[in-house]
Amino acid sequence: MGTTSFQVPNFMKALLGNISPEIKHAIGNISDFKYIKFEKVNTFKRQSLITEMNAVTNSGFTDVFRKNKIDNTRIISVIEVGAVVTDAIIFNSSETETTAYYLQGQFDPDKIKSFADKDLFNAFSTDLIRHYNKNINPSLNPEN
């Protein structure tokens, strides 16, 4: 099983938002950000991850989207204060990989709910990882 995980330090949160308007639009005012990705997960481990995520989201979070199918589980669960989302968990588990995001800050609920769209979620994930990796490993070549 391959795993990628990171917590975004404060300077990177600002940098990511400045580099990609799409990320800034998607995450808005963020104070904490964590990401984990599991690849090549067997059926037992995948089910274990889904069970753990269910336990987390059942403790004070409200689901805004939940899709439980054998081939794909997608959960978007939030904590709200008034009309503002302050915490969000975005979880996606397919037969090939499982990813989870934890966002804390002040977010528009509609922006968070938009991640229910599989294509938008995948584009966000790809864009975020690409910009994060680019800033962790900057190239000396200005064209890269």
Divide the 144 residues of the chain into consecutive groups of 10 and give the mean pLDDT of each group: 54 54 62 83 91 92 90 91 89 90 84 79 72 53 44
pLDDT digits (tens, 9 = 90+) for 83-112: 888 999 989 999 888 989 888 888 888 888
Q: Are 8 and 132 in contact (CB under 8 A)?
A: yes
Residue 16 and residue 23: Cα distance in Å, rounded? 7
Q: Which two tokens stand for residue 23?
A: 């990320």
Coil, helix or strand for 105? strand
Q: What is the pLDDT of residue 54?
A: 93
Supply the DSSP string of 35-104, one letter for each residue: EEEEES--HHHHHHHHHHHHHHHTTT-EEEEEEE-SSEEEEEEEEEETTEEEEEEEEEEESSEEEEEEEE
Q: What is the pLDDT of residue 25?
A: 62
